[in-house]
A = this chain, B = another copy of it.
Amino acid sequence: MDVSRFERDTAVEPIADGRYAGAIDPGWAVIDGAAPNGGYLMALAARAMRDPVPAHPDPVTLTAHFLAPPTVGEVEIAVEVLRSGRRHSTVEATLSQAGEAKVRLLGAFGDLAAAEGPSRVDRRPPELPPLASCVDFTTEHERRAEAGGFPPPPIAQRFDHRMPSAVLGWTEGAPSGRGHIGGYLRWRDGSEMDTLGLLVVADCYPPAIFDAALGDIGWVPTIELTVQVRARPSPGYLAGWFTTEAVTDGYLEEDGEVWDASGQLVVLSRQLALASRPRR
């Protein structure tokens, strides 16, 4: 069976009791040659975290704190199962490079295929225009790069992104002022999305604050990201919607919802990040 790009780039290997080896691939960077995407780091760590709890393969809630900037290359992931119950296992992990902790994670893993209980969803999927009238973000970005613009970041090339033009004004200096971003998306290599892949989806868009008309914003480092995964996604395009609605003294949340092609809510995410003014 073919191994997808995502599976290959998040593969981990046990090297000792509670310790796993993996590698950060350059193809998931936010900036070419630097800054691996936070959601990708979570997925890489989560693959190790779920290994000792095979009855609980799905991260129902996973929190990551980003301690230091990781670089491309080898990582070690130390995993500790704090509690293993009937319905959930609570697992902690540290992703390190050369002995330095880069990401600390704490999460509860379960089996979403076996989940049962009441259901009622008052949230609604984002109102996106039809797929055919969305901008093919990555291809468009590549086209602009050929014309002398910035190349699309590697992380954007992992997805087939179709975005409404209404959320892309900021790329031409005309943000909407609402602090929204989103669109349809799936893996660009056509492979199936799973609940680890959703961790990347929860962090894969440019910061919603770029659409907020707050003036120049430079780097938006994530302090903490928590992703609730609610269901295993159906095949087809996902619809993602991310909003920043409270920027206070530089602190901001980015709230995300991701829906699958069958209309199921599959992710609720929230991060705390810092908006910094660009360095002159």
Contacts and interface: CB of A to CB of B under 8 A. Distances in A.
A277 interface: yes
A63 B60 contact: no
Nearest to A226: B226
Contacts of A193: none
Interface in A61-84: 61, 63, 65, 67-68, 82-83
Contact of A115 (B65, B123, B249): B249
Contacts of A212: 120
A276 B63 contact: no
A101 interface: yes
Interface stretch (A160-168, A194-202, A266-274): A266-274
B251 A115 contact: yes
Contacts of A9: none
Contact of A275 (B118, B274, B277): B118
Interface of A: 60-61, 63, 65, 67-68, 82-83, 87-88, 90, 92, 101, 104, 106-108, 112, 115-123, 178-179, 212, 214-215, 217, 223-224, 226, 228, 230-231, 245-251, 253, 264-265, 268, 270, 272, 274-277
